[in-house]
Amino acid sequence: MNEEVREICSNLKLGFNTFGQLDVLQLVRKPFSGVWTTVYQVKKGLNDAPSVFSCLSNLELEEEILGGTDWIRHAEDFDPGFCVTEDGTFYGNGRDEGYDYLVKEIYFHSLERAQLHVSQEFVFLFGLLRGDDGNYYAVDECGREEMAVEVGDGFARFRTKYLMRYIAAKQMLYVQFVDSRVASSEHYPLGAELVCDEDCREVSCHYDIWFQSTRERDYLLSMMYARSIVRPQDVSTCGIWPYDKESEEDYPDFIVEELPDGSFRRFTCDPDRVGNYFGANPGAPHYLTPVYFSPSVLDRYRDDPHFEVTERRLSCGTQWGVEIDVTVPNRVMLYLGDLGRDLPASERAHFLAHEISPSDQSISATALAQDFFNSFDAPMGPVAALLAARKELDEAWEVKFGNRLFRPLHPDEGDMEKLVYIPSGNGRRELDSVILNLTKLCIDYIDESGLERADSPGGINKLKATLEREGVEVSLSPLRDLQSIRSASMAHAKGSKYEKLKSSLLTGDNPADIEQLVGRLTAMMAELAAALRAGRGCLAGQSEEMTPSD
């Protein structure tokens, strides 16, 4: 800004930085200076943020772009259609002159309304999810969403890292056009004249800024036109296949052995560097070396509806899955090679933070039989056995009565099965959560509409009345005990009823208490399914009386 302009600013008490457009110059010189980059922006008020439009261009157009400052492309360009020339009629896709769009505006004149459309190539390349809010989100391997494109009223901005990856993949220039105007008054006076004009071309931008004022110097207008480019990095930086290879840092070392002095031997989980049954990498730990983690490593997955957790598997939709072993409740086991092959790199650091010593740990009988002996009769874990028995009972009930015993899980509770597990400790919060979900799964989801009416209310009483009508005598005491535990320990303030339960059903050893209760429920369901299939009664246990609480 020359001295005369500075003097006008001083006399009119105007900010030098504002009218010198120093902030806009930063945008012109470094379009990718922030986490977000504004690709499209309409100037609404005289002294509001500048108008911006950005697109892509072929590399060979760099000199043409930096040769001037006015806008040579606009948001409403890039229309496909036909072109009639002396040589004939040709169809063009709107991007056949060396330029490509990131956002395109379509204006509906009869409605006096415009819409912005994001490049579908950009959306498809990064597999973006269009949200209900009209914005676009990148979804990682674990279902976590990150906004990549935000589209609003008169603006569109892209997360910069995706723009950098996009131009690297396409090997095209990012081209930015800026139109910025600042005035001391909303009314342009007659007789305003040019005070000075600065035209500057730099390595990656070209801008022209000029100032106008009246002869009385009681008005000042600052105007800037600018073009900028960002050159793409090497194509290998785009992070898209085949340039998405994991580095050594993505394969952390896990504990494979505790040494006599208490230190640990660690080894990478890179599946290409571990040993196998074919002699690969002599001296390295085997692919199937067990690695152990504290049970809390699974908490984040049980609390997230995108994940499924069973005693033998952790998965995220159909995106990925890894074999685990939690049939022993005080630890989680994974194989070293699976940590590198099947677990996403983004999750390995989380597991690393929960690793424990392998001393005093061992592979469960279930994992040993299934993974090493390929046994079809491998013993199931307690929860897996319960879920299998529940399914078997449901199917047997349908054969017998024409409808299922259990209602389908509500969509909001579709992941309930992973919240039923053997607790790893004696925390009250964990116990309450397991009891609540176990009760829902085994009692609350009983479809009472198809059951016999009973003298006392409650699904268990109706279930018993229905079985008695069919001559089936199976003790439902595991269901009643579960209902009592929930009622005494969760539904109401703890009192004498809870103290009574503590002396019989709740010993204070939460893992053992839940495992015993799950085992009883499993046996009851299996027995009931067998009785229904046999078409006869099966006396088991002492008789019961219906209680109003059931």
Q: Which residues 6+ apart lie within 8 Å of 402 measured at CB?
A: none
Residue 236 token pair: 């290998």
Angle between helices 510-534 and 477-486 (to 10 degrees): 140
Per-residue pLDDT for 19 more than 70?
Answer: yes
3-state secondary structure 376-401: CCCCCCHHHHHHHHHHHHHHHHHHHH
| Residue 537: band (very low, low, confident or very high) from pLDDT cuts 50, 70, 90 | very low
- Mean pLDDT across the stretch 386-400? 95
Q: Which residues 6+ apart lie within 8 Å of 81 measured at CB?
A: 91, 92, 94
Q: What percent of the chain has pLDDT over 70?
A: 94
User: Kindly report the CA angle at 260 between 255 and 261, in degrees rounded to 5?
Assistant: 90
Helix (H, G, I), strand (E, B) or coil at 546: coil
Decide: 473 and 467 in contact? Cβ < 8 Å: yes
Q: What is the pLDDT of residues 204-238, one digit of tens each?
A: 999 999 999 998 899 999 999 999 999 999 999 99
| Residue 550: band (very low, low, confident or very high) from pLDDT cuts 50, 70, 90 | low
Per-residue pLDDT for 538 more than 50?
Answer: no
Q: What is the pLDDT of residues 105-153, one digit of tens each?
A: 999 988 888 899 999 999 999 999 999 999 999 999 988 999 999 999 8
Residue whose structure tokens are 């600013």? 9
Work out the burial of residue 329: count CB atoms within 10 Å of its CB; fewer than 13 is exposed, 13-18 middle, 19 or more buried: buried
How far is 189 from 221, CA to CA, in rounded Å? 10
Please report the pLDDT score of residue 543 as a whole number: 42
- Look at residues 360, 371, 370, 351 and name the one whose alpha carbon lies nearest to residue 269: 351
Residue whose structure tokens are 């085992």? 519
Decide: 175 and 54 in contact? Cβ < 8 Å: yes
Angle between helices 510-534 and 428-439 (to 10 degrees): 10
Pairing of strands 129-130, 136-139: antiparallel
| Residue 2: band (very low, low, confident or very high) from pLDDT cuts 50, 70, 90 | confident
Beta-carbon count within 10 A of 32 CB: 16
Q: What percent of the chain has pLDDT over 90?
A: 71
Task: Give pTM, 2 decimals.
Answer: 0.78
Q: Where are the alpha helices (DSSP H) in 303-427?
A: 336-341, 345-352, 365-367, 382-401
Q: What is the pLDDT of residues 252-310, one digit of tens each?
A: 999 999 999 999 999 999 999 999 999 999 999 999 999 999 999 999 999 898 899 99
How far is 224 from 180, CA to CA, in rounded Å? 5
Per-residue pLDDT for 491 more than 60?
Answer: no
Beta-carbon count within 10 A of 157 CB: 22
Cα 372 to its chain centre, rounded Å, is: 34
What is the identity of the amino acid at 167?
I
What is the identity of the amino acid at 545?
E
Per-residue pLDDT for 547 more than 80?
Answer: no
Q: What is the pLDDT of residues 72-113, one digit of tens each?
A: 999 999 999 999 999 999 998 988 789 999 999 999 988 888
Decide: 66 and 206 in contact? Cβ < 8 Å: yes
Per-residue pLDDT for 545 more than 60?
Answer: no
Decide: 453 and 462 in contact? Cβ < 8 Å: yes
Beta-carbon count within 10 A of 164 CB: 20
Q: What is the pLDDT of residues 436-475, one digit of tens each?
A: 999 999 999 999 988 888 667 788 999 999 999 888 989 9
Q: Which residues 6+ apart lie within 8 Å of 112 measured at CB?
A: none
Residue 444 token pair: 């609350």
CA 448 to each of CA 392, 453, 522: distance values in angstroms, whole numbers, following the listed order: 19, 9, 21
Please report the pLDDT score of residue 375 as a whole number: 81
| Residue 40: band (very low, low, confident or very high) from pLDDT cuts 50, 70, 90 | very high
Residue 458 token pair: 């409650």
- Look at residues 128, 132, 139, 67 and name the one whose alpha carbon lies nearest to residue 102: 128
Angle between helices 510-534 and 382-401 (to 10 degrees): 30
Pairing of strands 290-293, 307-309: unpaired
Q: Which residues 6+ apart lie within 8 Å of 510 measured at CB?
A: 423, 425, 426, 427, 430, 431
How far is 285 from 367, CA to CA, in rounded Å? 19
How far is 479 from 448, CA to CA, in rounded Å? 15
User: Which residues on neighbouring strands pair with residue 309, listed in sequence order?
Assistant: 314
Please report the pLDDT score of residue 457 as a whole number: 77
Residue whose structure tokens are 């049939």? 327
- Mean pLDDT across the stretch 357-371? 93
Q: What is the pLDDT of residues 416-433, one digit of tens each?
A: 889 999 998 888 888 999
Q: What is the pLDDT of residues 313-347, one digit of tens each?
A: 999 989 999 999 999 989 999 999 999 999 999 99
Beta-carbon count within 10 A of 52 CB: 25
How far is 416 from 308, CA to CA, in rounded Å? 10
Helix (H, G, I), strand (E, B) or coil at 190: coil
